[in-house]
Structure 1
Amino acid sequence: MNNAKLGEALRLLGLDQAAARVYLTLLETAPAPLITIAEAAGMDAAELATAYDALVDAGLASAAHADEDVVAPVPPTAGLEILARHRAAEVEESRIAVGGAFESFRRQRLAAYNDDLVEVVTGDAIGPRMRRAWASAREQIRQFESPPYFPLPGATDDALATLARGVTQRVVYSRASLEEPGHLKDVIEPCVRAGEQARVLPSVPVKLVIIDEAYALVSLSIKEADVHNTMLVVQPCGLLSGLMALFELSWQSALPFQGRTTRPGGLPPADRRLLWLLAGGAGDDVIARELGISRRTLFRRLQILMAQLGAANRFQMALQAQRNGWL
């Protein structure tokens, strides 16, 4: 790394230009007396003292031995960790300050202009906006998920990356999501295995993604159109509060996709998948297709599961499966 890049790296960590210059000089001449460092850095004694003290405070320099006048750089691991934490704290404070300033502006200046609280996004702009939304999530994503889907390559990878960052993701899927060819295997199950909390309803009232409590993405394409080409971005307001309340009510009534099993050894994945699809209201043809089996084999598996659960029909089987923690 050249001196310019190293100096910029030190600046980004919070050291001023003078401290960075002294550190570079230390790397080139130390161990050496302070007077030698000052001459090499082109500083007077007072300037050097201030810059050198900043390096000591940052854990990047110290006396080389008993003679405190002879100084040298020290292993930077601990010092860099402290600098990085301080810098992260400063960035967080700045983020809060800017966000708070805009919130104050919005409350004082935009309260009378509801159009500013809802933005319409269409066409090719939808994909990048959705990707930025996932990347911006800090604590929680809440979602109603149903076709039609916007063609966004890598969307599942974005969701998995968000889960890997520790962001909670709660999703209510519609029955149509389970019936979409390949969607259960390629999208839903990988996210559930990665920690997504998933539930299912026969239908969802709207296609919706809520990012923390900051804003929501609302699709206008669920029953009204066959393609996903228009989306609303809803900023904090009464509408956003209503959407969050709608999600929580739906979440409470939705059927969990996955839970603990009380059966020794656990439920075979194929049977658990069958129960998921059945509980979601998928038809026999859809279930057989997703499991890659014939209808005859499907009926045989259903009979075995009903016998294990002591159920006389499919409704009782789904109810007993939920009570036993199989769903």
Structure 2
Amino acid sequence: GRDTVAPVPPAAGLEILGRRRAAELDESRITVGGAFDAFRRQRLTGYQDPLVEVVTGDAIGLRMRQAWTSAREQIRQLDSPPYFPLDGATDDALATLARGVTQRVVYSRESLEHPGQLENSIEPCIEAGEQARVLPSVPVKLVIIDDAYALVALSIRETDVYNTMLVVQPCGLLSALVALFEQAWQNALPFHGRSARPAGLLPADRRLLRLLAAGAGDEVIARELGVSRRTLFRRVQVLMARLGATSRFQMALQAQRSGWL
């Protein structure tokens, strides 16, 4: 026809065609990626069984009580302050033990030093059959109900606030929490007696031995027993004589071997 056609260098022509094809590929990649993201969001929105649930405020107490009630075989716990203010928590634990549920707890030294915690909560559970051990500290506040789920506390230590908790369903994280507890249990010092209570051992003396084994200081022990430091020293001397110990460390070791702890 009337149009004039002029040849161009092959390299220039191929570069133009290549850019056009690259733009088409980019457009296709964006379209497919957007469609996949939309599909994934739709599937996740329809998934009604999250692996990790966040519980806050007053709902924490309700979930904790539900946890103790739902236990069928065993409860594993790492315990340390701060504590959520929950009336009847000790009664719930005792009721669970009465149903034959095994309860293993690793307490931190702070648990024993917390005012009233040893006498009002820990000792009643131990007397009811709880298996207790103690460590200088625990890495996290944790409760594992059977192998079904775990409760993990998120606390603000600087202000002693306990207002957030995670509920972890069966997944890799739950397996890791179980392994964490078992490692802590292996490293902890036994804290419950395996034999009959020795004749003449007062509850206050057993409490004294438990506090000493946990590494509590004299002021904390005297406060928990409600005695002066002088009276405390006299009680320690009497117990050392009964156990044939020449130091507090040896006394705690002998008490553990004798089933007094």
SS state at 1:171 partner: strand
The answer for the alignment partner of 1:176 in structure 2 is: 110
**Structure 1 residues 262 and 182, CA gap change in structure 2 (3 angstroms):** closer
| Structure 1 segments unaligned to the other structure (5+ residues) | 1-108
Distance 1:293 1:251 in 2: 32
Report the alpha carbon displacement of residue 222 of structure 1 after superposing the two structures with TM.
Answer: 6.0
Q: Secondary structure, in 3 states, of the residue corresponding to 1:116?
A: coil
In structure 1, what is the Cα distance between the partners aligned to 2:105 and 2:182? 11
Q: Does 1:276 align with 2:205?
A: no
- Give the stretch that moved more between structures: 138-147 or 116-125: 116-125
Aligned positions of 1:50-69 closer than 5 A:
none
- Aligned residue among 209, 224, 238 for 2:172: 238
Which of these residues, 220, 238, 251, is aligned with residue 304 of structure 1? 238
**Aligned residue pair count:** 216
Change (3 A) 1:319 1:264: closer
Instruction: Find the counterpart in structure 2 of residue 106 from structure 1.
Output: none
Q: What amino acid is aligned across from residue 234 of structure 2 in structure 1?
A: R
Q: Which amino acid aligns with 1:285?
A: E
Instruction: Report how far residue 204 of structure 1 moved.
Output: 0.9
Please, what TM-score do these two structures have when normalized by structure 2? Answer: 0.77
SS of the equivalent of 1:172 reads: strand
Q: Which has the higher contact order (CA 8 A, sep 6+)?
A: 2
Instruction: Pick closer, same or farther for the CA change 1:138–1:118 going to 2, 3 Å.
Output: same
Instruction: Tell me how far apart the structure 2 counterparts of residues 172 and 265 of structure 1 sit (CA, whole Å).
Output: 27
Secondary structure, counterpart of 1:185 in structure 2: helix
User: Per-residue deviation at 1:220?
Assistant: 1.0
Question: Does the Cα contact within 8 Å between 2:79 and 2:138 map onto a contact in 1?
Answer: yes
CA distance in 1, matches of 2:125, 2:258: 23
Cα distance in 2 for partners of 1:236, 1:277 equals: 36
Whichever residue aligns with residue 211 of structure 1, its letter is I
Q: Deviation of residue 163 (structure 1)?
A: 1.1
In structure 2, give the amino acid aligned to 1:239. L
1:120 is aligned, of 39, 48, 54, to 54
**Which residue number in structure 2 is paired with residue 258 of structure 1?**
192
Aligned to 2:84: 150
Aligned-pair CA distance for 1:263: 8.2
What secondary structure is seen at the aligned counterpart in 1 of 2:50?
helix
**Percent identical:** 81
Matched, 1:186 2:129: no
Match of 1:201 among 123, 131, 135: 135
SS at match of 2:138: coil
Is the 1:147–1:222 contact (alpha carbons within 8 Å) kept by the matching residues of 2? no
For 1:187, the aligned partner's letter is S
CA contact (8 A) 2:198 2:260 kept: no
Higher Rg = 2
User: Separation in 2 of the partners of 1:280 and 1:144?
Assistant: 15
Distance 1:209 1:157 in 2: 17
Provide Cα deviations, 1:1-45, integer angstroms capped at 9, x if missing partner: xxxxxxxxxxxxxxxxxxxxxxxxxxxxxxxxxxxxxxxxxxxxx
Tell me the SS of whatever aligns to 2:161. coil
> CA offset at residue 267 of structure 1?
3.3
**How does 1:36-55 map onto structure 2 within 5 Å?**
none
TM-score using structure 1 length: 0.62
- RMSD, aligned α-carbons: 2.1
| Unaligned runs of at least 5 residues, structure 2 | 1-42
Classify 1:240/1:261 alpha carbon distance in 2 versus 1 (closer, same or farther; 3 Å).
same
The question of whether the paired residues in 2 share the 8 Å contact of 1:214 and 1:236 is answered with: yes
Match of 2:10 in 1: none
Cα offset, 1:230, TM superposition: 0.6
Q: What is the CA–CA distance in structure 1 between the aligned matches of 2:250 and 2:156, rounded to whole Å? A: 31
Residue identity opposite 2:260 in structure 1: W
Q: Distance in 1 between matches of 2:100 and 2:180?
A: 24
- Decide whether aligned partners of structure 1 residues 224 and 142 sit closer, same or farther in structure 2, where only a CA change above 3 A counts: farther
8 Å CA contact 2:133–2:190 kept in 1: the answer is: yes
Letter aligned with residue 113 of structure 2: E
Q: Matches of 1:280 and 1:222 in 2, distance apart? A: 24
Look up the match of 2:181: 247
